[in-house]
Structure 1
Amino acid sequence: MNFDKILQKPFLISVFVFNIILFGVIVFLLGYVQNLLDSDSRNNLEEIVSQNKNVITSKLLLDLNRLDIISNKISDGLKNKNITKEAELNKFLEDYSKNSIDDSLFLANKDGIAYVEKRIPIDISGRRYFKLAIDGISNISERTISRINGEYIFVGSVPLYYDNKIIGTIQKIYTEKQMNELFAASLFSSKGYMYVINSEGYIILHTKHINCALKSDNYFRDVYEYGNAEAVRKMKEDIKANKSGFMENVVNGEKTFSAYTPIEQVHDWYLVTSVPTDVIAENGNVVMKIFYMVMVALVLIFLVSICYFAWNKRRQKRTLEKIAFVDNVTGGNTYNKFLVDVQELLNKSTDKQFYVLNFDVDNFKYINNFYGFACGDKILRQIYNSVNSWMQPG
């Protein structure tokens, strides 16, 4: 009935509004929890990058310190021989290189003339690692091509002092394999991977990983091609300011977290560590799944409760209507139901006239007295069914 529908509207509106509020709260909670997990993952990754940098830096500095020790020994040897002339100094450096049992070590004078493998003199004055060392900066070079065998190598270089002056440099050659082993690290069950890049983004080293199958030799260019131009811009700004940073990226369809930091002890090198988000936040993902399951369970419980409440309310309404509007003897309408139906009919049809037919059964009480109430009720039902069969719709 219209009256009943009107009564139901506030309830339906309340349920609808409550559902919207509940949905909004769930979405907010899910977003909040996800942000907490992402923040925790970011902090973990940045801490791991810092630890990796410290380990790698320690290894690099250990090798450079070894070169410094050799450099100090050579300086002591020069002092013992009391060499002062430049020609004598150069001859000493040449002889030392030729007599060295370690083929990976070679010396160069201040003019950049060095004796490397097979002790052939070559000019390294144009090499960046030599220029930095001759200026007093110990360093390890970027990947370069050997003039001897054409293979990729790295060169560690430190200044050589005598009488408080730099008279040359001492170098150690690292093969690409040796340098990769130096940087080898197991990250998140081998699912993480690392790059070493310079300030211009060119890749110096990288771990062996499927996601390191590079499109180019420049990390900036690769990230840009993955569609993350904003991350490239921020990364360039951070590197220019010699700052650490963090970015999210999508590599081969997989969302990753990447953190980068300068390796201060190695000139112009930066360490980039990348890890898939589902790996670094594995425990967090389990928590999120449990959270989703709990939320779904709560929503289902709420919906079932609402449905049960609505069903129970409807059942109670039908029970009350039956008590008020259904005659318990004939199963037909009561007088109260008649009044409600008449009122609705008059409200709908104000331009029509209606008539009321009323009749009674004379001396009906004698039937109840002589034959009993069960017989009387049966006769009343028969009368009701007969009259009801004559009725037309409306």
Structure 2
Amino acid sequence: MIVKSKKIKASFIAIVTVVLFFALSWYYVTLIDNALKAQTFLYLSEVGTRGAALVESKVDNELENLETTARLIEAHGDYDQNAMLNLITLQASKGHYKRMGIALLNGAVLTSDGLAYNIAERPYFQEAVNGNAAISDTINDYTDDKPINVYAVPIYRGTEVVGLVVASVNTEDLKKYLEVESFSGQGYSYIVKANGDAVVTSTHANSPGDFENILELLKKADLRDGDTFETIAANMAAGKSGSFTSFYGGMERHTIYKPLAINDWYMMTVVPTQVVSAQTTQISRYSFSLIVAALLAMTLLFVIILIFQYRSKRRLERVAYVDEVTGGNNWQKFKQEATAILESKNCNQCALLTFDIDRFRFINEEYGHEKGDQVLRLVVGILEKRMAKQETYARVSGDHFAILCVCDDQDKIIRRIKEFIQILNDRRETIGIKEKLSCHFGIYIIEDKTGNLEKIREKANMARIAAKTAENQRWFFYSDAFRKKIGDEKEIIDQMEDALENQEFEMYLQPKYNLHTNRYCGCEALVRWRNPHKGLISPGEFIPIFEQTGFIKKLDMFMLEEVCRILKRWETDGYPEISISVNLSRKNLKQSDFVERVLNITNQYRIKRSNLEIELTESSIFENVDRMIEIGEAFRLYGFKMAMDDFGSGYSSINLLGNLPLDVIKMDQGFFNSHLKREQNLIVVESVIKMIKKLGMTVVAEGIETEAEVDLLRSLGCDIIQGYYFGKPMTVFEFEEQIF
């Protein structure tokens, strides 16, 4: 009886245990399923947010482009419809629009492809006429009845809207904005209006294809989880977000819907549940199989559940955070890890570095894209091994990378950069790259750890671009002074065209003195900028910027014309004949019509060409010797004099001097400033002067400020002196008063 009772009790305990295990297993599987669904919706929400931001950014960019076109029309000042159409014809032919056009306030449109119709009844026309840049919902084209979307931007005369710039794109073209990779390519997105009408549908294999109204489609669907149909409709009408799970078209789908900052549009981001439910199904199968084995399999069951939970999480993380080319961190993962690092209590001073690989396009073209990908993976491999605690990295895009590192001091960062480049080049040959690899780094020392990472990266990128544009500089630290410099440069760039048009640039002349005749023999033309608000601006502040932007070519032609104008006036007024030298930028050497443009200006004024001396700097001459010889010979053939400026400031090759078509060598002031006191330097200067004169060229010494320097150079056989001793740069009037 006791044994039987024990058996009954044991059986009862076993049955209860099995039932309890079954119940707990079922409950646990349900929890796992809910957790995976929650993770799925969270990630789906992130994908939807990125997609929405992309669409909004693309639309904003298109409207900004058209607003720039409208401002161009306003600046032109001719509001005739045909005249305005002519201004946008080139943009329309080269752009990606289906067509562009100019609309008047009565709705009459003339298009870039020669069509004329009226859009007065279109809603986007009414909004743009009221002064708001607008994009239309999906509408049918008047001409071919195909679905399009139209951008419209107002054109102002003062504060009055006088017309619109309109541009249409095929709705099919907008679909590429929805191609945000999600769930290994199984997810997709589409855009609808708040009332459910389709704006941009999806061609993805998992999508329902084209539809007229998503609410009508959902009304017939089986809504199994999340928002009800009434809630979805009410949320969309009120501009709210939400989520739901639905079944239609033979497929169950998870959906997130979010309002866009465009019209009353909504973005719906969708993934089939089967993509994320595979793990749950597998867990369920294992769980119920293990229930048959009861308590003996309980431990194994929990192990398997935990393993698959981990794998599911890692799979989702890989989709969201792993760079598909290198297998390393992508920018989303970087932001997550960097935010955690910066928010931690133990976070030290940190810096954000951005860098790119120089001439990476050459590597792709020379070796192929697979080899280029190997270079990217090599970079990631080096970074992974060199990241310390509280540091992270990412490949942002292309050959652009970002690093968050501990910043004890700037010297340590520089040492780490040098070590990275050294390791990169030590290993490049292992993947078959023969050329030396180099990078440019931008560095921003993070001051506010709660700041926006995108803005922090933007500052580091500005420093990286500064490093790329500077000579012989591989890294650059962002600073307040740099930020001010960028602002000042932008101000100069914004004003330079108007300054030239408003004649704010002035020609100054610095006298040259002939040591053989003891008379003034000429001058050099120098530019000054007389800003109406800042006064006289030094050339050192604006010439480098003009060189970078290419505006220097316009300024050079302006100075050349000013020189020709004054030479002609002196000839007409009977002044003694002297020469003027004018320095022309290296940017001109790359222009095939450079000589022709100079001749056009000099021929216009009919000057005596021997009185015009064209100066090119030493660095520009030796940058492309063959081109300089071609241009120099042409100018000398036409009767101009050719001069090399700043001789000795760089690394000139003396053995080439005899081959260069030059009449004058201007020795850089670095030869003379306090160096002539040493006998060795004196011997060098004397030898250079004798060599130049033996080559039949005239020697000009620049930057001479003392009588002792003048006497010494006279004894060494120097021909001409230019410097403060005989005169600072001065206005034309002051020069005429002093010299004539």
TM-score, normalised to structure 1's length?
Answer: 0.66
Q: Which residue of structure 1 aligns with residue 131 of structure 2? A: 136
TM-superposed deviation, 1:225: 1.3
- Compute the displacement of 1:292 (Å): 5.3
Residue number in structure 2 paired with 1:202: 197
The code of the aligned residue for 2:133 comes to: S
Aligned to 2:75: 76
Q: Give, in angstroms, the shift of residue 130 of structure 1.
A: 0.6
Distance 1:186 1:9 in 2: 59
The equivalences for 1:18-29 within 5 A come to 18-29=17-28
CA positional deviation for 1:214: 4.6
Alignment match, 1:64 = 63
| Structure-to-structure mapping, 1:105-254, within 5 angstroms | 105-214=100-209, 216-228=211-223, 231-254=228-251
Does the 8 Å contact 2:223/2:246 carry over to 1? yes
Matched-pair identity in %? 19
Deviation at 1:252, TM superposition (A): 2.8
Change (3 A) 1:152 1:168: same
Amino acid of the residue matched to residue 129 of structure 2?
I
Q: Give the equivalent residue in structure 1 for 2:85.
A: 97
- The 1:163/1:215 distance shift into structure 2, 3 A limit, reads closer
2:42 — aligned with what? 43
* 1:286 maps onto 2:283 in alignment: no
Tell me how far 1:144 sits from its aligned partner.
1.6
Helix, strand or coil at the partner of 1:257: strand
Equivalent pair of 2:203/2:209 in contact (CA under 8 Å): no
- Is the contact made by 1:160 and 1:168 (CA closer than 8 Å) also made in structure 2? yes
Asked if 2 retains the 8 angstrom alpha-carbon contact of 1:196 and 1:203, the reply is: yes
Alpha-carbon distance in structure 1 between the residues aligned to 2:266 and 2:11: 61
CA shift at 1:5, angstroms? 3.8
1:384 paired residue number? none
The answer to whether the 8 Å contact 2:257/2:267 transfers is yes
Amino acid of the structure 2 residue aligned with 1:270: Y
Shift of the alpha carbon at 1:260? 1.1
Superposed displacement of residue 269, structure 1: 1.3
CA contact (8 A) 1:184 1:207 kept: no
Higher strand residue share: 2
- Cα separation, partners in 2 of 1:219 and 1:24, compared to 1, 3 Å: same
Output the amino acid matched with 2:83.
Answer: D
Instruction: Tell me how far apart the structure 1 counterparts of residues 20 and 273 of structure 2 sit (CA, whole Å).
Output: 31
**Structure 1 residue aligned with 2:269:** 273
Query: 1:179, CA displacement in angstroms?
Result: 2.6
Shift of the alpha carbon at 1:185? 3.9
Aligned residues: 289
Q: Secondary structure at the match of 2:293?
A: helix
Q: How does 1:305-320 map to 2 (within 5 A)?
A: none
The Cα shift of 1:287 comes to: 6.9
RCO higher in 1 or 2 (8 Å CA, sep ≥ 6)? 1
- Structure with larger Rg: 1
SS at match of 1:154: strand
2-structure distance, mates of 1:301, 1:179: 56
1:291 and 1:113 map into 2 onto residues whose CA distance is 65
Give how far 1:21 is off. Answer: 2.0
Shift in Å at residue 148 of structure 1? 2.3
Q: Give the alignment's Cα RMSD to 1 decimal.
A: 2.7
Contact 2:178 2:190 in 1 (8 A): no
| Change in 2 beyond 3 A, CA 1:299/1:213 | closer
Separation (CA, whole Å) in 2 of partners of 1:301 and 1:187: 39
Contact 1:134-1:159 within 8 A present in 2 as well = yes
CA shift for structure 1 position 262:
1.4
Give the CA deviation at 1:7: 4.9
Contact 1:248/1:257 (8 A) holds in 2: yes
The 1:144/1:291 distance shift into structure 2, 3 A limit, reads closer
Structure 1 residue 194, shift from structure 2 partner: 1.7
Contact 1:136 1:166 in 2 (8 A): yes
Equivalent position SS for 1:212: coil
Q: Mean Cα displacement is larger for which, 221-230 or 2-11?
A: 2-11
1:201-240 Cα offsets, whole Å, 9 max, x none, are 1111112123434584111111121233963322222212
Deviation at 1:127, TM superposition (A): 0.4
- Point out the more displaced range, 153-162 or 48-57: 153-162
Residues of 2 paired with 1:31 and 1:278: CA distance?
16
- Rounded to whole Å, the distance in 1 between the matches of 2:274 and 2:291 is 26
1:111, distance to aligned residue in structure 2 (A): 2.3
Bigger drift between 68-77 and 17-26 goes to: 17-26
Distance in 1, matches of 2:266 and 2:38, equals 23
Contact 1:193 1:206 in 2 (8 A): no
Asked whether the 8 Å contact 2:182–2:188 carries over to 1, the reply is yes
Residue 259 of structure 1 deviates from its aligned partner by 0.8
What CA distance in whole angstroms lies between the structure 1 residues aligned with 2:112 and 2:154?
A: 20
CA distance 1:182–1:49, shift in 2 (3 Å): closer
Segments of structure 1 that go 5 or more residues without pairing to the other structure are: 82-88, 306-394
Q: Equivalences for 1:11-22 in 2 at 5 Å?
A: 11-22=10-21
Query: Offset of 1:154 from its aligned partner?
Result: 1.5
